[in-house]
Structure 1
């Protein structure tokens, strides 16, 4: 039976052939496995891809067991991991220092940041993890950076709005993310990539006189699928809008819980994916709770306050949930 492979599959196969690092090869194989047509004619190919993927993952694990720590690996914390990506001197470190308690080294000369650096940014009652990364240029991309970008929950491309080559910065970053399949229009299950709707452009140094003109040029000639937000770490322009947009990019909701007869706990919300239901919340609270819960009441999105709902009831941001056992 013919395999009838698609152009998308052949493109993924080509990316695998061009891959250099183990993480890039794993990402390419994951994409090949996700997009290969699923029928009897490709069963052997699917099995071969799974074997190759398993071997590469084992290779990566063996390297880690030997004590080789990946300096570009950043463990996730908070409500979501947001990675900053861009050219030298676009203000990544300045932004990190402004919106978090991190104290990165900031200088006028390029390549001050050589490894990822993190800080926690507050948004209302939750915290986002911000990750500053080493810069890229048209000629140089640091080894290991692609793994940091793939691991992110959202990506912020930073461009210097005061620079005459801001459009070139944006297009170079965008082309790199597309070429390496780090950013995709649609992300198939099992593929380590970020959808375009989880990416955003920050036009930094928006307080500079000629920045408005440059931002207009980027809006007209830049990628149409990326929103551009003017910001300034110096004046604070756009930083609150940036926080709100990041919350939207992450596609999460905050759910608060309460004990029967007591006030809800509004200080420590559970963070769930948008579209989650009562059962998802119960599993987050305790693995045995789904089997133990008998009655659930919801305040917020329900038709009336304290309404009893089923376990498949879809929750909304800022809902309050009471689970009775």
Structure 2
């Protein structure tokens, strides 16, 4: 990767790495092509991007011809996907409305939510994708739609269980168990057996600012912004806790490891501003990293 590729190209690379659909990947590749350096040393890079665009076009055409799709499939967006689940009239719609900017239908009768509702929750410089699935009831896991909703629960990064009373948790557990989704208690919180963390919320706990912060902390992820010269990428890279400078370099471009010289870090993990570090340096949330190459 050419040394003088600016943060716009780096952002496009990250966008491509995170893309899940063909359309998202195509958009990212086109952004990479439009922001890639134009000097002679970058000819190989630009040719590679054009080849990937052509290949992706063929894949998209084949997929459209097959015409396959999944009901209630929800495209992942944001730094984490969080599912809100509860019994009828538990208040999950109200909670999600308060946490997000989306107005979700709320009523005094049961089963107001009949399909998954998707909203976005803002936390500082990132967005968390929030999904409310229709209320859990007896026989939920035995119906086709109920199983589809539980599939959304299973694939989420984190699940918020909203209850009026803690004894309601047992009713939710019973339906989840039918779908082989088990809850078990730990010292910190309630977690899925398959390493899927949970948080149980009652209305007495509600404080929007604190709750959103706790939701982010529970993801065990960090935000890292890249820097090129005096320009800091506005959109952070989201990584798992324990990520290193090497993780960031690999996320940006595979060639960065081979050509890596050192990095400068400012933020919580740095002993001082612009500390010079190597690939093994462990990063923390809100760090800013500038990578220097040979």
Q: Which segments of 5 or more consecutive residues in structure 2 lack a partner in the other structure?
A: 1-62, 186-191
DSSP 3-state at the match of 1:283: helix
DSSP 3-state at the match of 2:167: helix
Q: Is the 8 A contact 2:122 2:128 kept in 1?
A: yes
> 1:231-277 CA deviation, whole Å, 9 max, x = no partner?
2xxxxxx22221111111111101112113x1534x32111111111
Matching residue of 2:54? none
Matching residue of 1:41? none
1:312 Cα offset (Å): 1.8
Matching residue of 1:298? 265
Q: How does 1:114-263 map to 2 (within 5 A)?
A: 114-141=114-141, 142-160=146-164, 166-178=165-177, 180-183=179-182, 194-195=194-195, 198-204=197-203, 206=204, 230-231=205-206, 238-260=207-229, 262-263=230-231
Q: Is the 8 A contact 2:83 2:156 kept in 1?
A: yes
1:318 Cα offset (Å): 1.2
> 1:98-132 CA deviation, whole Å, 9 max, x = no partner?
22232322221111212111111001111101101
Matching residue of 2:21? none
1:179 Cα offset (Å): 5.5
Q: 1:269 to 1:116 in 2, by over 3 A?
A: same
1:195 Cα offset (Å): 2.3
Q: 1:259 to 1:316 in 2, by over 3 A?
A: same
CA distance in 2, matches of 1:259, 1:193: 42
Matching residue of 1:211? none
CA distance in 1, matches of 2:184, 2:240: 19
Give the TM-score taking structure 2 as reference length: 0.67
Q: Which segments of 5 or more consecutive residues in structure 1 lack a partner in the other structure?
A: 1-61, 161-165, 187-191, 207-229, 232-237
Matching residue of 2:287? 319
DSSP 3-state at the match of 1:143: helix
DSSP 3-state at the match of 1:98: helix
DSSP 3-state at the match of 1:129: strand
> 1:127-166 CA deviation, whole Å, 9 max, x = no partner?
1011010111234342312210111000100002xxxxx2
Identify which of 285, 296, 309 aligns with 2:252: 285
Using CA pairs under 8 Å that are at least 6 residues apart, name the structure with larger relative contact order, 1 or 2: 2
Please identify, of 299-308 and 310-319, the stretch whose mean Cα deviation from structure 2 is larger: 299-308
Q: What CA RMSD, in Å, does the superposition of the two structures yield over aligned residues? A: 2.5
1:184 Cα offset (Å): 5.8
Q: 1:151 to 1:193 in 2, by over 3 A?
A: farther
DSSP 3-state at the match of 2:85: strand
CA distance in 1, matches of 2:194, 2:94: 25
Matching residue of 2:100? 100
Q: How does 1:60-79 map to 2 (within 5 A)?
A: 65=66, 67-71=68-72, 73-79=73-79
CA distance in 1, matches of 2:218, 2:194: 11
Give the TM-score taking structure 1 as reference length: 0.61
Report how many residues are paired: 219
Q: 1:323 to 1:249 in 2, by over 3 A?
A: same
Q: Is the 8 A contact 2:140 2:175 kept in 1?
A: no
Q: 1:263 to 1:77 in 2, by over 3 A?
A: same
Q: 1:283 to 1:74 in 2, by over 3 A?
A: same
